[in-house]
Structure 1
């Protein structure tokens, strides 16, 4: 579902190029869950952005569902995100002018996969039933993150990319949201790549890798 082959990425600085990813090899199979750990600034989000086609590698290849991302133009990468990927970020990125139900259905509608029964089931399972007509600003942080997760999973994406999805939540709410996320990912059959700095958050996922000094290695979780 996701494959990175010898991926390199650097950024220009006044002191010269700063290498962030140095020959990354990674494979994620359909239905598999993988946590990517590492300290702040180590390149976790960069790797996720490359997987989403939001950025391109300097060298190497990124494939999503067998499709080399570098072979696509901006329109093609946008279509890939719309039809194949689900994205969940630490910041909720909800549309303030849309109510809860329309936010939930937005991605599915863009992908041409609206499913009224599935949307209603998501509302119930997300604990948002009865809040359909409210707006994002009227929800708690935990409710907004659950809504963001529901929006990403409404089209049943083949691959879900999550960047610190519980980072803005208190510990109890974070545990509840994480459990719900993993349950829904399992039910949709999506592959999951989650970026986190927390061993506690990473522990329930099937695999965990550590990103350090631009390279990947095994990580221990608690």
Structure 2
């Protein structure tokens, strides 16, 4: 599903390039869930952005499905994200002028993959039934994050990339969102790569890797 081979990424500094990632090798199988852990500033979000084609590596290869991201231009990477990826961030990034229903179906419509039965199922599972006509500002934080997860899963992506998806929630709301996320991932047969700093959040996933000094190591959550 996702393969990174010898991926490196650096940023310029007055002292020369600072390598945030250096020689990253990572494989994620279809349907597998993987937690990516590491201290603040270790490059976790950078790795996720590279996997999504939102940034390009200094060296190495990233393959999503059978497509090497290096073979695609910016428009090609954007199309690949629409068709095969779901993205969930710590910030909800909902469209304030759109209703709950329109936010939920936005990505599916962009990908021309809207499925009314799946949309109805998501609304029920997300606990948003009866709220379809409301706007994001009329929802709680937990409801907004559930909506963001539903929006990402509405096109039935093959891979969901989640960057600290419960970082803005209290522990009770976070646990509810994570339980729902894992359940919906299972229902949609979607692979998951989740960035988290919490061993408790990582524990239920299939596998965990730890990012330290630009390199990855397998780790038991």
In the superposition, the TM-score normalised over structure 1's length comes to 0.98
Three-state SS of the structure 1 residue aligned to 2:17 is strand
Contact 1:33 1:207 in 2 (8 A): yes
Question: For residues 105-145 of structure 1, what are the alpha-carbon distances to aligned partners after superposition, in whole Å with 9 as ceiling and x for unaligned?
Answer: 00001111111111011001000000000000111100000
Structure 1 runs (4+) deviating above 6 angstroms are none
Establish whether residue 202 from structure 1 lines up as the match of residue 199 from structure 2.
no
What CA RMSD, in Å, does the superposition of the two structures yield over aligned residues? 0.6
Aligned pair count reads: 221
Unaligned ranges ≥5, structure 2: none
The residue aligned with 1:145 is: 145
The residue aligned with 1:82 is: 82
The residue aligned with 2:27 is: 27
Three-state SS of the structure 2 residue aligned to 1:16 is coil
Q: Give the drift of 1:15.
A: 2.0
The residue aligned with 1:92 is: 92
Contact 2:207 2:220 in 1 (8 A): no
Q: Give the drift of 1:35.
A: 0.2
Matches within 5 A, 1:23-172: 23-172=23-172
Q: Give the drift of 1:14.
A: 2.0
Contact 2:100 2:134 in 1 (8 A): yes
Q: Give the drift of 1:40.
A: 0.7
Q: Give the drift of 1:66.
A: 1.6
In the superposition, the TM-score normalised over structure 2's length comes to 0.99
